[in-house]
């Protein structure tokens, strides 16, 4: 077994995988202490391993291919981080494979920027332009944690997003779009002639009166066929039109240029290599955020994931705000309305354990609604922005009535897909004859869960603070 290069910590190798539609990008922390692609056999420089046609769209199968290639040539990794969208955090594993830590693209990219010391605003947009889809996520940075909400997505069913661009370029040159060897040569030619291509496209845009002449400029060759600036320019329209579909749902600045007060945006993914596409994005949103040290946008996510895998960066994928429930208390014999803090800022993790309300290290016991025929009581859940008084309503759930004096623990959890739920742990009478240390403790009954939806990204935002989600009735046991 040979190792193409040595990671910074050879005693505890850690790998990151971004299993894309076109390429399996596998990265680690190199000997210089910076993230880099692992030079596995068959790797296309600057891209990664071509994704076998039989596993495209199957993230679990693609992960197994990437893991097998890494293990054969670099040994067994002790830690893995997998770049995944929220709805695909649960990935089936092959035998012997270590459990990968899932990490979304926005968290991975922001880990890369934070590690580099890049100045970041408290609110950011991450525009992920991939082979299959274009996505826009809104990010809020609070106290070392990042809340992420996907706000728009465009995923053509036929050829995908970036993949459709490649197909159009190859079709313009009379080449097949599904030949792995042709796709590999296209990637190499594009990387070697990136500057030449951008200059030719700039001339096309700047001199429409001479567009016919500039369109015939040959920017590179693939499989003996010439690729002209005109072919690339026409294919680029697929990318800009798709990006416009993503942005059309957002507030648009009505002026002659970008709005200087608009939320900063980070563009990543293979298509984000195009200066023309980045300029199109800037014209719509403004205030672009540069990647550190000229990082290839296509590798930004897997490089950030490699930093997390190697323990060099905090993934910060915890919910940054506090979650509380409105309660009725009796103080000095008088009833008062108040709030019970369930989850402090930065404690909830997607796919993690339920966080229960505690005081002094012990779970708080809350008295249930008496079974008086009222059918239960409505309970309101709110989110409070860390360090402020700003709050946003999450929802209203109806807690079923219980026996007089019944009590429960109250908690909240966030599922792998980002959906939150209010969790009640009913408590029965103490179990006689139990261990002396636990004899006085009540018996825990089956959990009940009430869906809350996705928690607000920024409770300080008027659009979230004024929004009242639909009431959710009933519990899941």
Q: What is the pLDDT of residue 21?
A: 86
138 has pLDDT over 70: yes
Say how far apart CA 412 and CA 420 lie, in whole Å: 7
Least confident of 91-95, 173-177, 342-346, 470-474: 470-474
Give mean pLDDT, residues 24-53. 91
Give mean pLDDT, residues 213-230. 89
| Contact by Cβ (8 Å): 264, 121 | yes
Q: Which distant-in-sequence residues (6+ apart) come within 8 Å of 387 by Cβ?
A: 142, 143, 345
Residue 111: pLDDT band with limits 50, 70, 90 = very high
Q: What is the pLDDT of residue 58?
A: 82
Same fold, 1-103+302-313 and 119-289: yes
Q: What is the pTM of this model?
A: 0.81
471 has pLDDT over 80: no
Residue 468: pLDDT band with limits 50, 70, 90 = very low
Say how far apart CA 361 and CA 432 lie, in whole Å: 25
Burial of residue 156 (CB within 10 Å: 0-12, 13-18, 19+) is: middle
Which fold would CATH assign to domain 119-289?
Answer: Nucleotidyltransferase; domain 5 (3.30.420)
466 has pLDDT over 50: no
Distance between first and last Cα of the chain: 51
Q: Provide, rounded to the nearest whole percent, the portion of the chain with pLDDT above 90.
A: 30
Pick 168 or 96 by higher pLDDT. 168
User: For the chain, which residues make up each domain, given as ranges?
Assistant: 1-103+302-313, 119-289, 318-465
CATH number attached to the domain at 1-103+302-313: 3.30.420
CATH number for 318-465 (one of 1.10.287, 2.60.34, 2.40.30, 2.60.40): it is: 2.60.34
Give mean pLDDT, residues 59-79. 90
Residue 108: pLDDT band with limits 50, 70, 90 = very high
Residue 442: pLDDT band with limits 50, 70, 90 = low
Strand partners of residue 134: 129, 154
4 has pLDDT over 70: no
Pick 443 or 318 by higher pLDDT. 318
């Amino acid at each position: 077994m040979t190792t193409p290069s040595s990671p910074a910590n050879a005693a505890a190798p850690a790998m990151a995988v971004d299993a894309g539609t076109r390429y399996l990008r596998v990265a680690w922390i190199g000997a210089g202490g910076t993230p880099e692609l692992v030079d596995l056999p068959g790797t296309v420089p600057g891209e990664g391993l071509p994704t076998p046609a039989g596993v495209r769209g199957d993230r679990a199968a693609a992960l197994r291919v990437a893991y097998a290639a890494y293990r054969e040539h670099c040994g067994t990794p002790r830690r893995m981080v997998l770049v995944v969208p929220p709805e695909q955090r649960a990935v089936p594993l092959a035998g012997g494979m270590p459990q990968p830590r899932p990490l979304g693209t926005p968290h991975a990219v922001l880990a890369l920027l934070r590690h580099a010391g890049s100045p970041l605003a408290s609110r950011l947009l991450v525009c992920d332009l991939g082979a299959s889809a274009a996505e826009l996520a809104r990010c809020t940075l609070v106290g070392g944690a990042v809340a992420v909400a996907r706000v728009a997505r465009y995923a053509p069913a036929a050829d995908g997003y970036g993949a459709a661009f490649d197909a159009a370029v190859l079709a313009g040159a009379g080449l097949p779009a599904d030949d792995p060897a042709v796709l590999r040569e296209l990637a190499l030619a594009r990387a070697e002639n990136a500057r030449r291509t951008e200059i030719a496209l700039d001339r096309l845009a700047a001199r429409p009166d001479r567009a016919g002449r500039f369109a015939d400029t040959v920017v590179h060759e693939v499989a003996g066929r010439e690729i002209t600036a005109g072919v690339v320019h026409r294919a680029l329209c697929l990318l800009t039109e798709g990006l416009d579909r993503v942005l059309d749902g957002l507030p648009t600045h009505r002026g002659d240029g970008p709005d200087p007060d608009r939320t900063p945006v980070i563009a990543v993914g293979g298509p984000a290599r195009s200066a023309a596409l980045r300029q199109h994005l800037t014209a719509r949103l403004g205030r672009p955020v540069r990647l550190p040290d000229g990082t290839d946008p296509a590798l930004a996510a897997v490089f950030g994931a490699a930093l997390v895998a190697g323990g060099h960066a905090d993934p910060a994928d915890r919910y940054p705000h506090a979650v509380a429930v409105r309660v009725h208390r009796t103080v000095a014999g008088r009833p008062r309305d108040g709030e019970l803090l369930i989850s402090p800022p930065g404690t909830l993790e997607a796919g993690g354990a339920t966080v229960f309300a505690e005081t002094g290290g012990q779970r708080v016991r809350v008295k249930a609604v008496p079974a008086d025929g009222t059918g239960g009581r409505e309970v309101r859940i709110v989110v409070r922005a860390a360090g402020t008084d700003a709050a946003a309503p999450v929802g209203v759930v109806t807690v079923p009535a219980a026996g007089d004096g019944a009590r429960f623990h109250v908690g909240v959890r966030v599922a792998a897909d980002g959906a939150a739920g209010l969790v009640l742990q009913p408590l029965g009478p103490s179990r006689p004859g139990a261990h002396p240390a636990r004899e006085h403790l009540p018996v825990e009954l089956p959990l009940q869960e009430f869906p809350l939806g996705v928690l607000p990204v920024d409770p300080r935002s008027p659009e979230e603070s004024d929004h009242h989600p639909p009431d959710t009735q009933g519990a899941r046991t």
